[in-house]
Amino acid sequence: MGISVKEGANGGGIGNVTGPSSSTDNAISRFDGATGRLIQDSNVTIDDNGTINIPAGETYQINSNDVVDQDVTSGSSPTFSGANITTELSNDISPVLGGDLDLAERSIIIDKPDANGEYSALEKVSETVDTNGVGVFAVLEMAVDGHFDEADADAEATCDGPLALALETGTGTKLVMYKGWALSTGWTWTVGQPLYVSTTQGTMTQTAPSGSGDIVRKVGIAHSANLIRFDPSPDYIEIP
């Protein structure tokens, strides 16, 4: 008995789709160009469990906007709702929170500065500075007008207000630090000893002022010859 085979109808597609000679296992194939006939490999993979993976350093995007950075710590579970998240804050020099930051019994780790002129601020704001002849790391005191001038332990009026450390030179709207770390190779402090507002305008000293009418007010402590922790005390005494 003979066997006959009937030829079926031609398929509806036009064929001619080509791709690379090799590919990455589980990688998502992508069109290469706009012809619809050429595909290419990709770095994005979907494993057998449905987990999507992108290479380190790349980002998830929605409408060309980053949603979450790939550099998420292993085991963490970032969540978001209608807002972009950048988990690697070093990529964003001016990150802005959309609400309160809940540390959930965790801590923010502050690295101490390790080069001349560097600082690590716990409290940094822009303030109006009226006088600063010392420059960066000058000790400033808030006057009755709310502006900052060089602190001076010679009198109570120039040493009793809130204190800050200048982070910029000159006057005008400037960044100041209310609390934090600072490093200057020009300092030669005695390690472990307190720092005071000096009777020399805008500077610190480790010798407590002792003249009549002088103000003794601590502003921090030396952690090395060049490194200080700036944390001014609100208290002071006046030498009779």
In this prediction, residue 72 has a pLDDT band, given cuts at 50, 70 and 90, of: very low
Number of Cβ atoms within 10 Å of the Cβ of 132: 23
Please give the average per-residue pLDDT across 62-69, as a whole number: 62
Q: How far does CA 52 lie from the centroid of its chain?
A: 29
- pLDDT digits over 104-158, tens only? 888 888 899 999 999 999 999 999 999 999 999 999 999 999 999 999 999 999 9
pLDDT > 90 fraction of the chain, expressed in percent and rounded: 54
The pLDDT of residue 160: 97
The pLDDT of residue 113: 96
Please give the average per-residue pLDDT across 18-22, as a whole number: 79
Give me the amino acid identity at 4.
S
CA distance 98 to 93: 16
CA distance 183 to 171: 22
The pLDDT of residue 55: 77
Which tokens go with 237?
A: 């005494």
**0.85 exceeded by the pTM?**
no
Better-predicted residue by pLDDT, 58 or 118: 118
Q: Output the average pLDDT for the chain.
A: 85
Most confident stretch, 37-41, 54-58, 106-110, 211-215? 211-215
The pLDDT of residue 81: 47
Please give the average per-residue pLDDT across 32-58, as a whole number: 82
- In a 3-state reduction of DSSP, which class is residue 62? strand
The pLDDT of residue 42: 82
Report whether pLDDT(71) > 50.
no
Beta strands in the chain (DSSP E): 30-31, 39-40, 45-46, 52-53, 59-62, 65-69, 119-129, 139-142, 148-150, 163-166, 172-183, 194-197, 204-205, 215-216, 218-222, 227-230, 237-238
